[in-house]
Chains A and B, each alone.
Chain A
Amino acid sequence: MIHYNVTLERQKLCTVVELQGPMQEVADLPGLLPPEFPSTPNTYEKSPDSDKTLYWIGPQRWLLRAALNQEAELKRLLAEQQLPDAVSAVLVSDSLSFFKITGIDASAVISIASPLDVHSSVFPDNGASYTEAFGLKALVIRCDTGTSKGFEVVVERSYTDMLYDYFQRAIGTST
């Protein structure tokens, strides 16, 4: 029996790079990042054409996300030889699974999954924070695009099946 009016989608593989290092040195990486650097922890910025997104996920830690077809180019640009000593860039595209949950009950389903307070007063439109989802370490991202309002939940890839299982149980689509 369906309990909530949401759409759950497992997102396609995308390019993800974990960036670590001093903020200024990461911000200065040439030509790699969206023009706007996230100014507040636990937020993200997109490039105008939305082809790259930079999530500020922890002290001196960011995730750069782009379409899968940009992976090779990003790998080339982020090769060790071209980075400052203190900056590390590691491809983690295969490490993470992205789920998108949208619909009028998306916040309700997120509140089942995660202790994160996603009220708009504390979790802004560009909010992205590591927290828990069903007891697993997870990144929760607000993704309101036009009429499609909801969240993305990102977990380590090995937990993909379990998270999907949990979400289906929460929504009521579990067989």
Chain B
Amino acid sequence: MTTANCNRLTEGGRIDRGAPIQFTFNGKSYTGYKGDTLASALLANNVTLTARSFKYHRPRGIVGAWVEEPASIVELESNEQSGNQPITTVKLKQGLSAKSVNCWPSPNFDLLSVNQLFSRLLPAAFYYKTFKWPHWHWFEPAIRRAAGLAGAPALPQSKDHYESRYAHCDVLVVGAGPAGLVSALCAARAGARVMLVDDGYEVGGTLLRTRCELNGRPAPHWVDSVMAELSSCENVTVLMNATAWGYREQNLVLVTEHNPQPVSVFKRTWRVRAKHVVVATGAIERHLPFTDNDRPGVMLCSAVSTYVNQYAVKPGQQMVIFGNNSSIYQAAADFVQADINIVAIVDSRDQVPDDERALVPDSEILVAHEVQRTHGKKHITGVSVRERNDHESNDHSVRQIDCDLLCVSGGWSPAVHLFSQSRGTIEFDNKLAAFVPDKTEQATSCIGAAAGAFSLSAIIEDSVNKTQRLLDELGFTPVDYTLPDTPSESPYRISPLWFIEQDKPNEKSFVDLQNDVTVNDVHLAIREGFGAIEHMKRYTTTGMGIDQGRTGNINAIGIVANHTGTTIEDIGTTTFRSPFVPIEFGAISGLREESVFLPYRHTPVTQWNKDNGAVMYEAGARWRRPGYYPQGNESFQQSVNREAAAVRNGVAVYDGSPLGKFEIKGPDALNLIEILYTNSFADLQYQCGRYGLMLSEDGLIIDDGVTFKLGENHYLMSTSTGHADEVYRHMEHFLQIERPHWKANITVVTSQWANATLCGPKARDVMLALGCDIDLSSPAFPFMSIRCGHVAGLEARVCRVSFTGELSYEINVASRDLPALWERIIAVGAAFDLIPIGSEANHVLRVEKGFLSLGHEVDGTTDPIDLGIGWVLSKNKNDFIGKRALQIRRERQGSHRELVGLLTEDPNQMIPEGAPLTPMGEKKPTEGLVTASVWSVVNNRVVSLALLTDGRSRMDETVFVRLKDEVIKATVTAPCFHDSAGKLLRS
């Protein structure tokens, strides 16, 4: 039984001992303090077994202190539900509840630890080789259940408001350590708009984690003074606990705030567009691969420093330090001050300079030694240390040292992830034994430790110099900055060490603790031909997933270099991907969910349609329209039949508001229409309309519609609903790029004029009953003409066009007037048995007539001749868009798919739209497809349209629709099943 906070130091740290916090981990209650992370609070409570490993289910503890944590991932529960959070980044909150992943029922007793017995059968990529027969998918579900990290949260979060927003600045500084703070301060003083983001809960970075001084005072005092000045600047925005995790083109950086204000916002992602990005992301300490280096109690040296200095936690009593670089001595000096007993410092370098020794004069230093292995079961109890093989003394005796904490430092890697995402190049620095930034691709500067400057004075100087330079480039006048006094430091010295030779081949030295990748796995990958670093990464999974190789990637590269006799420079690195840390999908998508997941558009009578039982769904270009209006217990088909019959036999009204509408004005308006459409409009008379077909440059149909002449140099063009936006782009592109000198202006009036379409033999009667000052007689107002006047007392443009094949009036009124007009039509129409109809009935009616529909017959592969409307191609016009391409297409020898009608052998048999036609219904290359199939109320049977190879020459032939379970026979007919002469629509 351990005492609460038994590992807590009595003083120091940045926690608030007056603010205790209760939390639960794996079902047990603990107490921490405000300012703790979950990891620091658990270590303070002497909880060191915090997870099980991904594959072998080995006991794992806390290794790091922040995002570099590779071993302990937790799942947060209740109100903070979230999977796969590094235990070290979880802020301690009252009532926090978390549990370990990769174990059941607990990390202390995990049933799947049985995997360790079979670990020799589970090398890298074992499942690719082992589970081939009878099929991988037989085993996949079980393997995925056994592996994997936390599951997705099962219940909606009670606090699930995600947000994303945009921001702009002159200088974005990523990282608020010493380099970032100085850079932000210089930029702010110069008057630049500055954004400073840091992923920590406090600014200061490494200054909070070590016992260093600036200007003769503890560094946090300097941090506070800088922040006070930055906070007082209106031109500075500071985001705390915000991770810059993605760097895109044109200096767009994605930043997610993990605990934003107001608290009702769960996560917030910023899309920051900066004129210059300063990467001050510091450096990450590397682990070292040696036998059983994953045992709980083995921690990164910098992490222990952080726990001691920032959280006042002593993770162990008897410490061994193992490293290959000078940084361990400063850390050791801190530990001595914290009253931790350093049993030994194991330094793999051949020599330790006096200035480093002087930092820990009373500690035993084992020079040119290495930790060969750790001992213990669920926690480290000791290490085996030996002299390095390559050392001249050649003493291979192994010494066992008892300890409960092993601090490891394999050197420091500048955190170049973000810089690399910016497409900047990196190069290997032999002196630092690390990859450092090389050439920039965007307006980016790496400063401080992220640029390979590891001493405090060098970090600050580097930051000042580079920031002054970038400010000058941005046009700001840099303000002089007085460098703070920094303590004298030992220079950074390192002797590369990528792994320690194992005694036995079956031992496990982990390179990637998160993915359970060992040195042996890397060797296996090389033996099996996957030695190229990108191949090795995928074969072994090292550096993949959440970890992104923060602590182990370069070790893996070093192992490959050692094994293949090449250099690290020659091998290079794998791709640094975003996100740098796990980011919730919700934080990326922001508000875009539920009703606004996709855009939607409403007409002025949408509410009426909803109130009157219409079944609404999208019908092109994001318009929500009524599909049909079921009555009583009607089925879908019964509703559609009733609505279609009303149009054929009586009268109905249809909400045609979404139809694309454009007013085209100017001296070159006709020229524009002539070049856009395949037929001529030159002789179009005032108040008359003409059907037109628009082709793309490659001669294929992009849209059709009717254009009316409203006045001299003034036209009203209508387009299909679904392609209105595309047609507008097409027209503006042509005007702005191809004919910028033309005087033609296009105004979108789709929503200016809303439209109720009366259709059916009694449409004229209803128009008269509504009250209309337009002469509606056929001679005065013929088919394909437009009249301006008043309908039901409302100013209206009335068009005589028809998409149903019946007498139709499209009554266009200002959108504000449509609800009134609609109500009036419904009221007046009652005497004529008028009903509203939806798009489903409209579809039936147009198929009966063989009218084209975009997305069905016009599917981006057809030209006008294929569809039997070659008459719409003018032979007299000099040019129209797509003319040349169409000529070439038609001159080509070979078959074309042509529009035909189909009548199924069984008149009741519907054909699924899109169903293929194949010769004799056999499994052969398709000779066409069914574009539409409906129950025809006028024919009392199913009728269909199809695109069939050489279809027009195959009339009366039997063709075969090949479905999965059956073959449907059908007879080829003309593609019109009702009023082929078109008398009704002209009536």
Q: Which chain B positions have C-beta within 8 A of A122?
A: 168
Interface range on chain B: under 10, 10 to 19, 20 to 34, or 35 or more? 35 or more
Closest residue to B594 on the A side, CB-wise? A169
- Segment of A35-43, A48-56, A145-153, A156-164 in the binding face: A156-164
CA distance A159 to B598 in the complex (A): 12
CA distance A115 to B250 in the complex (A): 14
**Other-chain contact of B601, A94, A95, A119, A162 (Cβ < 8 Å):** A162
Q: Are B166 and A160 in contact (CB under 8 A)?
A: no
Q: Are A158 and B663 in contact (CB under 8 A)?
A: no
Q: Which chain A positions have C-beta within 8 A of B666?
A: 21, 85-86, 88
CA distance A95 to B743 in the complex (A): 23
Asked whether any CB of chain A lies closer than 8 Å to the CB of B696, the reply is no
Q: Are A159 and B749 in contact (CB under 8 A)?
A: no
Closest residue to B725 on the A side, CB-wise? A137
Q: Which chain B positions have C-beta within 8 A of A80?
A: 665, 711-712, 714
Interface residues of B in 595-615 (CB under 8 A from A): 595-596, 599-603, 606
Q: Are B161 and A1 in contact (CB under 8 A)?
A: yes
CA distance A155 to B45 in the complex (A): 57
Interface range on chain A: under 10, 10 to 19, 20 to 34, or 35 or more? 35 or more
Q: Are B602 and A172 in contact (CB under 8 A)?
A: no
CB-CB under 8 A for A162 and B600, given A21-B745, A95-B749, A119-B193:
yes
CB-CB under 8 A for A172 and B161, given A95-B748, A160-B602, A166-B591:
yes
Asked whether any CB of chain A lies closer than 8 Å to the CB of B479, the reply is no
Closest residue to B668 on the A side, CB-wise? A86
Q: Which chain B positions have C-beta within 8 A of A119?
A: 168, 193
Asked whether any CB of chain A lies closer than 8 Å to the CB of B814, the reply is yes
Q: Which chain A positions have C-beta within 8 A of B592?
A: 135
Asked whether any CB of chain B lies closer than 8 Å to the CB of A20, the reply is yes
Interface residues of A in 101-129 (CB under 8 A from B): 108, 111-112, 114-117, 119, 121-122
CA distance A136 to B751 in the complex (A): 15
Asked whether any CB of chain B lies closer than 8 Å to the CB of A10, the reply is no
CB-CB under 8 A for A3 and B161, given A94-B816, A158-B623, A169-B591:
yes
Asked whether any CB of chain B lies closer than 8 Å to the CB of A144, the reply is no
Q: Which chain B positions have C-beta within 8 A of A172?
A: 161, 264
CB-CB under 8 A for A112 and B165, given A3-B264, A92-B747, A158-B602:
yes
Q: Are A85 and B752 in contact (CB under 8 A)?
A: no
Asked whether any CB of chain A lies closer than 8 Å to the CB of B815, the reply is yes
Q: Are B752 and A95 in contact (CB under 8 A)?
A: yes
Q: Are B596 and A20 in contact (CB under 8 A)?
A: no
Q: Which chain A positions have C-beta within 8 A of B751?
A: 94-96, 156-158
Q: Are B166 and A95 in contact (CB under 8 A)?
A: no
Interface residues of B in 33-70 (CB under 8 A from A): none
CA distance A3 to B263 in the complex (A): 8
Q: Are A112 and B163 in contact (CB under 8 A)?
A: yes
Q: Are A111 and B165 in contact (CB under 8 A)?
A: yes
Asked whether any CB of chain A lies closer than 8 Å to the CB of B667, the reply is yes
Closest residue to A89 on the B side, CB-wise? B665
Q: Which chain B positions have C-beta within 8 A of A21?
A: 666, 743, 745
Q: Which chain B positions have C-beta within 8 A of A115?
A: 166, 271, 273
CA distance A166 to B271 in the complex (A): 18
Q: Which chain A positions have C-beta within 8 A of B595?
A: 165
Asked whether any CB of chain B lies closer than 8 Å to the CB of A27, the reply is no
Kindly supply a per-residue 1/0 record for chain A positions 1-27, scoring 1 wherever the CB is within 8 Å of any chain B CB and 0 otherwise.
Answer: 111100000000100001011000000
Interface residues of B in 648-676 (CB under 8 A from A): 657-658, 663, 665-667
Q: Are A136 and B599 in contact (CB under 8 A)?
A: yes
Q: Are B591 and A95 in contact (CB under 8 A)?
A: no
Interface residues of A in 37-89 (CB under 8 A from B): 60, 80, 85-86, 88
Closest residue to A21 on the B side, CB-wise? B745
Q: How far in angstroms is the closest Cβ of chain B from A24?
A: 14
Which of A21, A111, A158 lies at the interface centre, i.e. has the most chain B CB atoms within 10 A of its CB?
A: A158
Asked whether any CB of chain A lies closer than 8 Å to the CB of B20, the reply is no
Q: Which chain A positions have C-beta within 8 A of B163?
A: 3, 112, 170
Q: Which chain A positions have C-beta within 8 A of B422?
A: none
**Other-chain contact of B667, A85, A90, A95, A108 (Cβ < 8 Å):** A85
Q: Which chain B positions have C-beta within 8 A of A116?
A: 166
Q: Are A159 and B601 in contact (CB under 8 A)?
A: yes
Kindly supply a per-residue 1/0 record for chain B positions 255-288, scoring 1 wherever the CB is within 8 Å of any chain A CB and 0 otherwise.
Answer: 0000000101100000101000000000000000
Q: Are B165 and A158 in contact (CB under 8 A)?
A: no
Q: How far in angstroms is the closest Cβ of chain A from B724?
A: 11
Interface residues of B in 140-195 (CB under 8 A from A): 161, 163-168, 193
Closest residue to A121 on the B side, CB-wise? B193
CA distance A158 to B713 in the complex (A): 28
CA distance A157 to B604 in the complex (A): 9
CA distance A162 to B595 in the complex (A): 8
Asked whether any CB of chain A lies closer than 8 Å to the CB of B860, the reply is no
Asked whether any CB of chain B lies closer than 8 Å to the CB of A134, the reply is yes
Q: Which chain A positions have C-beta within 8 A of B814?
A: 93-94
CB-CB under 8 A for A159 and B599, given A92-B752, A94-B751:
yes
CB-CB under 8 A for A111 and B166, given A86-B743, A88-B665:
yes
Q: Which chain B positions have C-beta within 8 A of A156?
A: 601, 748, 750-751
Q: How far in angstroms is the closest Cβ of chain A from B220?
A: 31
Asked whether any CB of chain B lies closer than 8 Å to the CB of A143, the reply is no
Q: Which chain A positions have C-beta within 8 A of B747?
A: 18, 20, 88, 90, 92
Asked whether any CB of chain B lies closer than 8 Å to the CB of A91, the reply is yes
CA distance A94 to B752 in the complex (A): 5
Which of B595, B667, B745, B753 lies at the interface centre, i.e. has the most chain A CB atoms within 10 A of its CB?
A: B745
CA distance A21 to B606 in the complex (A): 35
CA distance A134 to B595 in the complex (A): 13
Q: Are A3 and B262 in contact (CB under 8 A)?
A: yes
Q: Are A134 and B591 in contact (CB under 8 A)?
A: yes
CB-CB under 8 A for A93 and B667, given A3-B161, A165-B596, A172-B264:
no
Asked whether any CB of chain A lies closer than 8 Å to the CB of B590, the reply is yes
CA distance A125 to B816 in the complex (A): 31
Q: How far in angstroms is the closest Cβ of chain B from A154?
A: 12
Q: Which chain A positions have C-beta within 8 A of B743?
A: 21, 85-86
**Other-chain contact of B815, A94, A121, A170 (Cβ < 8 Å):** A94
Q: Which chain B positions have C-beta within 8 A of A134?
A: 591, 596
Q: Which chain A positions have C-beta within 8 A of B714?
A: 80
Which of A91, A92, A94, A115 lies at the interface centre, i.e. has the most chain B CB atoms within 10 A of its CB?
A: A94
Q: Which chain A positions have C-beta within 8 A of B168?
A: 117, 119, 122
CA distance A86 to B658 in the complex (A): 29
Q: How far in angstroms is the closest Cβ of chain A from B201?
A: 22
CA distance A26 to B816 in the complex (A): 28
CA distance A119 to B237 in the complex (A): 13
**Other-chain contact of B752, A20, A91, A135 (Cβ < 8 Å):** A91
Q: How far in angstroms is the closest Cβ of chain A from B903?
A: 39
CA distance A146 to B600 in the complex (A): 35
CA distance A169 to B589 in the complex (A): 13
Kindly supply a per-residue 1/0 record for chain B positions 752-764, scoring 1 wherever the CB is within 8 Å of any chain A CB and 0 otherwise.
Answer: 1110000000000
Q: Which chain A positions have C-beta within 8 A of B596?
A: 134, 162, 165-166, 169
CA distance A13 to B663 in the complex (A): 21
CA distance A20 to B732 in the complex (A): 13
Q: How far in angstroms is the closest Cβ of chain B from A6?
A: 13
CA distance A121 to B970 in the complex (A): 69
Kindly supply a per-residue 1/0 record for chain B positions 102-140, scoring 1 wherever the CB is within 8 Å of any chain A CB and 0 otherwise.
Answer: 000000000000000000000000000000000000000
Q: Which chain B positions have C-beta within 8 A of A159?
A: 599-601
CA distance A111 to B269 in the complex (A): 11
Q: A93-B814, A114-B166, A115-B271 are in contact. List 18 more A-B contacts (CB 8 A).
A: A3-B161, A3-B265, A18-B747, A20-B747, A80-B711, A85-B666, A85-B713, A94-B752, A94-B814, A95-B750, A108-B165, A112-B166, A112-B591, A157-B815, A158-B603, A158-B751, A162-B599, A162-B600
Q: What are 15 A-B interface contacts by the 8 Å CB criterion?
A: A1-B264, A3-B265, A88-B665, A88-B745, A93-B814, A94-B753, A94-B814, A95-B750, A116-B166, A117-B166, A117-B273, A134-B596, A158-B658, A160-B602, A162-B602
Nearest 6 interchain pairs by C-beta: A88-B665, A158-B601, A20-B745, A94-B815, A117-B168, A88-B745
